[in-house]
Amino acid sequence: MSGPGLYDTSDLGGDPVTDADGTADSSEVAGRSPLRIAFDRLRKDKIAIVSAAVVLMFFLIAIFAPLIAAAFGVDPDTRYRNLLEFDGYPAEGASLDHPFGIEPTNGRDLFARWVYGARYSVLIAVTAATIATFLGIVVGLLAGFFGGWVDRVLSFVIDVFLSLPFLLVAIAVAPIVAAQFADQGLDVFGRAQLIVLILILSVFGWMGLARLIRGEVLSLREREFILAARAIGAPTHRILFRELLPNLVAPIVISISLGIPAYVTAEAGLSLLGVGLVEQPSWGRTIALATNWFGIVNTYLLAPVLGVLFLVLALNLLGDSVRDALDPKTRR
């Protein structure tokens, strides 16, 4: 006589759980982590899928910009027309040889400038977001976990950076960079502009995440699992990076997803003002130069404007979807 089976519910007055063929179902319901649940919700979100596809397209354009330009036989710096033949500017719109037309006054291919502009925009946004996220995580973790004078000092540093006017600092730094590197060649000057722009965006972009992480850590450090880790003598770095940090994935991912479009817009705005990239192809710089030529070569202005619009819109929609997927209280 065999003992009661796993699915024996006779003592409870119920019937055993069986499959369609009458046999007991021995399958187990696998547990899912919060990240797996969020990923499953994202896969069912059509807006998230479309936005991710658009973002991936721009990232691929940025990565393979030289190959794309070479496939069309164009280059962002080559002058394809003799300016004197066109009385100061080559009045040519889109064509098979030049899909977006020719840049007035310079004769450069606008498609190549647009592709390389996407590359610099994505490079600056992703790099600045990565640096700012790292700074925000480190400062927030240290301030929230240690408290006391460490928290007061780091909170003061955060307040100092928040009080600095971003635009004024950026405008003030541009002539300093020009004075230091302008006479060392266009390549050195261009790289200096790129590095300084990334540093400016990073330095002014970490404070919000640091405050958010600090607040989360202040509440988490009194939880039972942190007290237990302290009780068994776990080192500080293990508590910070193995116990606290995994519980901060949601705000970090949301900060990155919403920060990248902000950096894309900031780079375009600074380049539009002549503060960002000047020598390298840039969407913002192209928009600034194209405002006087709308109606002659329309793609000169429309191409970078639409590029910024679609990239930022897709990143924002994707960020909203990620935020909703990571929020257990949200049902879409």
Q: Which of 116, 127, 128 is nearest to 286 (CA)?
A: 116
- pLDDT (0 to 100) of residue 106: 76
Domains and CATH numbers, the chain: 50-83+97-326 (1.10.3720.10)
User: pLDDT tens digits for the chain (332 residues)?
Assistant: 444 444 344 444 444 444 445 554 444 445 666 667 777 888 888 888 999 999 999 999 999 999 998 888 888 877 776 544 444 555 566 666 777 878 877 778 888 889 998 888 888 888 999 999 999 999 999 998 888 899 999 999 999 998 988 888 888 887 777 677 767 666 777 788 888 888 888 988 899 899 999 988 888 888 888 888 888 888 888 888 888 888 888 788 888 888 888 888 888 888 777 777 777 788 888 888 888 777 777 778 888 889 989 988 998 888 888 877 776 665 54
d(CA 270, CA 278): 10
Nearest-angstrom CA–CA distance, 291 and 5: 79
Cα–Cα dist 23/20, whole Å: 7
Q: CA–CA distance from 79 to each of 61, 189, 252 (Å)?
A: 23, 21, 45
Give CA–CA dist 180/168, Å, rounded.
19
- Residues 92-129 as b/e (b if ≥16 CB within 10 A, e otherwise) read bebeeebbbbbbbebbbbbbbbbbbbbbbbbbbbbbbb
Residue with tokens 């069986």: 18
| Placement of tokens 């994505």 in the chain | 122
* pTM beyond cutoff 0.75: yes
Q: How many angstroms separate the CA atoms of 66 and 196, rounded?
A: 24
Q: State the pLDDT at residue 134.
A: 93
Can you say how many angstroms the Cα of residue 256 is from the centroid of all Cα atoms in its chain? 5
Amino acid identity at 144: G
**Are 213 and 248 contacting, i.e. CB atoms less than 8 angstroms apart?**
yes
Closest CA to 25 of 10, 15, 35, 38: 15
What pLDDT sits at residue 12?
Answer: 42
Q: Determine contact, residues 191/114, Cβ cutoff 8 Å.
A: no
| DSSP three-state, residue 28 | coil
Residue 56, beta-bridge partner list: none
Q: Note the Cα 20 to chain centre separation in Å.
A: 49
Position 30 scores a pLDDT of 53
Q: Residue 161: CB partners within 8 Å, gap ≥ 6?
A: 203, 204, 206, 207
Give 170-197 as a DSSP string: HHHHHHHHHHHHGGG-HHHHHHHHHHHH
* pLDDT at position 54: 92
